[in-house]
Amino acid sequence: MSKNEKFTTKYVFITGGVLSSLGKGIASASLGLLLQQRGFSVTMMKLDPYINVDPGTMNPFQHGEVFVTDDGAETDLDLGHYERFLGYSLNKKNNHTTGQVYFEVITKERKGQYLGKTVQVIPHITDEIKKRIFSFEGEFDFVLIEIGGTVGDIESLPFLEAQRQINLELGSSRTINLHLTYVPYIKSAGEVKTKPTQHSVKTLMEFGIRPDILLCRSESKLSRDVRQKIALFCSVEENSVVEVVDVDTTIYEVPIMFAKRGLEEIVLKKLNLPESKLEIETWNKFVNRIKSPKHEVTIALVGKYTKYRDSYKSILEAFIHAGSINNTRVNVELINAESINEETVDEILGNVNGILVGPGFGHRGIEGKITAIKYVREHNIPFFGICLGMQCAVIEFARNVCNMADANSGEFDKSEHNVIDLMEEQKKVTNKGGTMRLGAYPCTIESGTKAFQAYKSKDISERHRHRYELNNNFKQDLIASGMIMSGHSPDGNLVEIVELKNHHWFVGVQFHPELKSRAVTGHPLFISFIKATLQSNNKTNRNKKAEN
């Protein structure tokens, strides 16, 4: 809520041009953070031009990770950046796709709510988009709206039209347009080229949108001449041409770079808002520890989507946060589970300080994951299992410690020992989407466990995205052989966390802790895992011990 009663919500639009992957999500989140650190309340919204009603159905190989919110929305991974930078939980109102907008309009049409009118892109689709953008009115000082894709894409047209109309309706004291472009350095010409930026701005203007601020991504600093040229040709004030130079180490440096250029000050000035003090010291310290840490560890992330790092985006970011808190550089090696077997495991995993077996769907790579878990269990190397990774840990333990040779998950094989399975009531649901446990659920933690040591609390809440659960029929057998069930749903019915007795650090969780790891504060389990890897019992350390 705004501290100032009279404050009306301001709308900051962020579009992109020239090419994709310029880091619009990070740029938006960085500006959000800076406004927040100047004392304003900020929320962020991503408008995705694709027709999918939610990104949950999209292949992680193509689209990266699906980010799940507390209220169970399966959203674009940019929401993850927003949460990590802003430091609080967003919800389904913060991400909208073209598919959702059309779905809503068509549903209304089917119900006869348009009273026989011709239903059109303008005004019906655009009104639906505007309704969603205005859904935070009065609740926050700033709403930052990032429009996915690049200007000129057919798909994003209705979003840009909504932006144009809002510009017109609210005027320049309540809306501001930022446009992120690319200024390439052409080696043969020995100079940077501003033409792509000029064209991109021209396209934007064809839609009736005039950028107030240009964020110019480039490999190197832009000279005054270049910024003047861009300003002149794009009709933007010179001091509003802000270079975004590639940061060499970490995306968390982007807000610091923006602050040096005074980006949020320009925004405040254009909106006639008073300048307040920027609180950036804690963030600076967080970034300094990422850039020059005291220690270093290597973690193997064993999974199946290893060709595309964005598939594990939140896990990789959670390692950066936990690394900073432990003053440690965390190198993450993405290992394809299919490359691991009894012959290769020692060579592949022998020298890492810890392994994380990640989430996933489908049977590919399962046996490799189980072999990896057996190796770290037997060698007392820190292990962290997330969702499918936890399920594999239970299967491994059942097979190799509880003598259930055919143990498996009902997802992969129907066997006598489906130690992981659908719950009885789920089995009746045939629609796949209907059986997924999605969003935040409470969990109660047993004291005296590794989980309790990490969270320092009995009651936690974590996000879920899975169908299968630890099968309670085998719970007692697993416990009798030394598995600890350290977290349960409050009714005690679902196992949420497993650990091993007599192991340095072996924790598997049914939920997705990575989705709640935030910059500066990190996540308790990741922090605790990295701490454990600093004293890893890997091959190097075992050899050292043997020599002494």
Catalytic residue ranges: 387, 512, 514
CB of 96 to ligand GLN, least distance (A): 24
CA dist 470 and 409 (Å) reads 9
With the CA atoms of 82, 85, 90 and 92 taken in that order, what torsion angle do they form, in degrees rounded to the nearest 10?
10
CB of 42 to ligand GLN, least distance (A): 30
**Residue 404: strand, helix, or coil:** coil
CA geometry: angle at 123 spanning 122 and 126, to 5°?
Answer: 80
Residue pair 478/394 in contact (Cβ under 8 Å)? The answer is: yes
- Residues lying near ligand GLN in the complex (CB under 6 A): 359-361, 387-388, 411, 465-468
For residues 166-197, one letter each, b for 16 or more C-beta atoms within 10 angstroms of the residue's C-beta and e for the rest, the string is bbeeeeeeebbbbbbbbbbeeeeeeebebeeb
User: How are beta strands 483-488 and 437-445 bridged, if at all?
Assistant: antiparallel
Closest CA to 425 of 494, 495, 498: 494
- Side-by-side strand order, sheet with 328-336: 328-336, 295-303, 354-357, 383-386, 506-509, 495-500, 483-488, 437-445, 459-466
- Give the start-end residues of each E strand in 468-505: 469-470, 483-488, 495-500
Kindly tell me which of 374 and 467 has the beta carbon lying closer to ligand GLN: 467
CB of 274 to ligand GLN, least distance (A): 46
Residue pair 333/301 in contact (Cβ under 8 Å)? The answer is: yes
CB of 390 to ligand GLN, least distance (A): 8
How does DSSP classify residue 171?
-
CB of 418 to ligand GLN, least distance (A): 12
CB of 383 to ligand GLN, least distance (A): 16
What stretch of H or E contains 324? helix 313-325
